[in-house]
């Protein structure tokens, strides 16, 4: 279902709802940080079916696409987090995926354990992933999950990160595999569309990413945060502070809980940050303020990840985020879709974002990433640190 709403891209902000408190009082009150009421909301309808050539065309569509790219650049330099509306994914399809999550996680422990793969696909239990191991020292994230990858028929021998996904049978979770497959397809298409806008926001041709999206490292993740978890402190959170690793994340949530470290523009210091070294390397330069992301019906949350921060030398933020699902008597479900580049993509700072470059943040004087990185190196090092070395092998089949 494509949206027929306003064909011109417009950015609005989320409706203001008063925050309960303006300052986090104590570590046990981490849930009550201010609400991020100014999170940009981008109408992406014009981009859904636009070919790369449309971004340079004269006329209303070209103008709307370029305006959308400008809004995305503003959002990426503000916090790296924004909401998208008129994104073409039907509300009913998202609701059905949440229902699939409920049924999946309601399986018995032995049934869920049978969905483990020994690599980075399949089921993982509460506490097995720790997204901030140096800070979150009282156990791993208070969530369980299931990772699903594309079923690639052309898997190359020895290729990393692409193991087969173990699925529950249709008798166990009716329609699960078909629903996930359909969701995967629709989110992949949306991911490509958003990456085109992002390329233009980065001052590049709209098809700039095409050459590193030949076998993108897409991963669909289903998450359940149990009801009434223990009191939250930074040493034990629902999902610890982290950045995402690749290109963009398209996130559907059923309820609040997500918080982002909105960068301070010119004050504060990086020492405010509570994160492990790799995340710190992408963290806001002047520190930040934790804020709750509002749940706005009909929108998806989008955030940009570490490789985009690298291309832009941290002018675009790969922002620290976390989940605090506390004091709530019901489960929380969320469905991130990680739309990442090819494993062998080489990522280096673009000339426009070198210190002093025409799109660079003028406050940034340092070249943070002097050497290029191959995306899979980064992915492997993040998996090693967040699952504990050896606990989750890379996939080769």
Measured distance CA(163)–CA(352) in Å, rounded: 37
CB of 253 to ligand AKG, least distance (A): 5
Contact between 392 and ligand AKG by CB under 6 A: the answer reads no
DSSP 245: -
Of 381, 236, 264, 387, the C-alpha closest to 323 is 236
Binding residue for ligand AKG, selected from 31, 97, 200, 323, defined by CB under 6 A? 323
Of 176, 143, 208, the C-alpha closest to 352 is 208
Distance linking the first and last C-alpha atoms of the chain: 35
- Between residue 233 and residue 252, which ones bind Fe ion under the rule CB under 5 A? 244
Pick 31 or 359: Cβ nearer Fe ion: 31
CB of 320 to ligand AKG, least distance (A): 10
φ, ψ of residue 80 in degrees (nearest 5): 80, 0
Contact between 198 and ligand AKG by CB under 6 A: the answer reads no
Task: List, in sequence order, every residue forming a beta bridge with 248; answer none if it has no partner.
Answer: 304, 339
Contact between 221 and ligand AKG by CB under 6 A: the answer reads yes
Pick 173 or 293: Cβ nearer ligand AKG: 293
Pick 244 or 306: Cβ nearer Fe ion: 244
CB of 39 to ligand AKG, least distance (A): 14
Measured distance CA(197)–CA(264) in Å, rounded: 25
* Binding-residue pattern over the window 155 to 174 for ligand AKG, x denoting contact by CB under 6 A: --------------------
Contact between 141 and Fe ion by CB under 5 A: the answer reads no
For residue 346, give the 3-state DSSP assignment. strand
Pick 323 or 379: Cβ nearer ligand AKG: 323
Residues in the chain: 397
Contact between 223 and ligand AKG by CB under 6 A: the answer reads yes
Angle between helices 176-201 and 91-105 (to 10 degrees): 130
Measured distance CA(96)–CA(174) in Å, rounded: 12
Supply 4's token pair. 């027929």
Q: Which of ligand AKG, Fe ion, none binds 221 (CB below 5-8 Å, type-dependent)?
A: ligand AKG
Contact between 340 and Fe ion by CB under 5 A: the answer reads no
* Binding-residue pattern over the window 328 to 357 for ligand AKG, x denoting contact by CB under 6 A: ------x-x---------------------
Q: Are 310 and 340 in contact (CB under 8 A)?
A: no
- Between residue 358 and residue 387, which ones bind ligand AKG under the rule CB under 6 A? none
Binding residue for ligand AKG, selected from 31, 104, 253, 326, defined by CB under 6 A? 253
Of 303, 340, 309, the C-alpha closest to 323 is 303
Show Cβ contacts of residue 239 under 8 Å, excluding neighbours closer than 6 positions: 131, 141, 142, 143, 223, 225, 322, 323
- Between residue 277 and residue 316, which ones bind ligand AKG under the rule CB under 6 A? none
Where does residue 47 rank: exposed (0-12), middle (13-18), buried (19+ CB within 10 A)? buried
CB of 143 to ligand AKG, least distance (A): 7
DSSP 213: -
Binding residue for ligand AKG, selected from 66, 119, 276, 321, defined by CB under 6 A? 321
Of 204, 131, 195, 143, the C-alpha closest to 350 is 204
* Interacting span for ligand AKG (CB under 6 A) from 35-43, 97-105, 251-259, 279-287: 251-259
Contact between 258 and ligand AKG by CB under 6 A: the answer reads yes
* Interacting span for ligand AKG (CB under 6 A) from 113-121, 250-258, 339-347, 359-367: 250-258
Greatest C-alpha distance within the chain: 59
Chain residue whose CB lies nearest ligand AKG: 334
φ, ψ of residue 63 in degrees (nearest 5): -60, -45
Q: Which of Fe ion, ligand AKG, none binds 282 (CB below 5-8 Å, type-dependent)?
A: none
Q: How many helices (H) and strands (E) does the chain have?
A: 7, 15
CB of 245 to ligand AKG, least distance (A): 9
Contact between 254 and Fe ion by CB under 5 A: the answer reads no
Pick 263 or 357: Cβ nearer ligand AKG: 263
What residues line the site for Fe ion (CB under 5 A)? 244
What residues line the site for ligand AKG (CB under 6 A)? 221, 223, 239, 244, 251, 253, 258, 321, 323, 334, 336
């Amino acid at each position: 279902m494509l949206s027929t709403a306003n064909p011109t891209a417009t950015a609005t902000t989320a409706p203001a709802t008063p925050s309960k408190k303006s300052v986090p009082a104590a570590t046990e009150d981490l849930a009550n940080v201010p609400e991020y009421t100014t999170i940009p909301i981008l109408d992406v309808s014009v981009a859904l079916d636009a070919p790369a050539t449309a971004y340079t065309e004269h006329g209303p569509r070209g103008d709307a696409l370029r305006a959308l790219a400008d809004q995305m650049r503003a959002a990426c330099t503000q916090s790296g987090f924004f909401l998208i509306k008129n994104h073409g994914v039907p509300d009913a399809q998202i609701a059905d995926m949440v229902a699939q999550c409920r049924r999946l996680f309601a399986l018995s422990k032995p049934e869920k354990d049978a969905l483990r793969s020994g690599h980075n696909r399949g089921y993982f239990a509460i506490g097995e992933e720790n997204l901030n191991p140096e800070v979150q020292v009282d156990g791993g994230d208070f969530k369980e999950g299931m990772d699903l990858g594309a079923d690639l028929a052309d898997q190359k021998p020895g290729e990393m990160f692409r193991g087969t996904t173990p699925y529950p049978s249709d008798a166990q979770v009716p329609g699960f595999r078909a629903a996930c497959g359909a969701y995967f397809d629709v989110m992949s298409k949306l991911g490509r569309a958003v990456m085109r806008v992002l390329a233009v926001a980065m001052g590049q041709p709209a098809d700039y990413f095409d050459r590193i999206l030949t076998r993108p490292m897409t991963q669909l993740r289903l998450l359940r945060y149990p009801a009434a978890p223990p009191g939250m402190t930074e040493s034990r959170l629902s999902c610890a502070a982290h950045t995402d690793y690749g290109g963009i994340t398209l996130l559907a949530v059923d309820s609040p809980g997500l918080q982002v470290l909105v960068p301070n523009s010119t004050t504060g210091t990086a020492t405010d940050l509570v994160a492990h070294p790799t995340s710190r390397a992408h963290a806001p330069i002047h520190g930040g303020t934790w804020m709750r992301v509002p749940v706005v019906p009909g929108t998806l949350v989008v955030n940009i990840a570490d490789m985009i921060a690298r291309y832009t030398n941290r002018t675009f933020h790969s922002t620290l985020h976390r989940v605090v699902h506390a004091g709530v008597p019901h489960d929380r479900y969320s469905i991130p879709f990680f739309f990442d580049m090819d494993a062998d993509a080489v990522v280096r700072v673009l000339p426009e974002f070198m210190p002093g470059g025409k799109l660079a943040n003028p406050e940034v004087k340092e070249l943070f990433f002097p050497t290029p990185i191959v995306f899979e190196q980064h992915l492997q090092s993040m998996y090693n640190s967040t699952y504990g070395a050896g606990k989750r092998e890379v996939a080769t089949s």
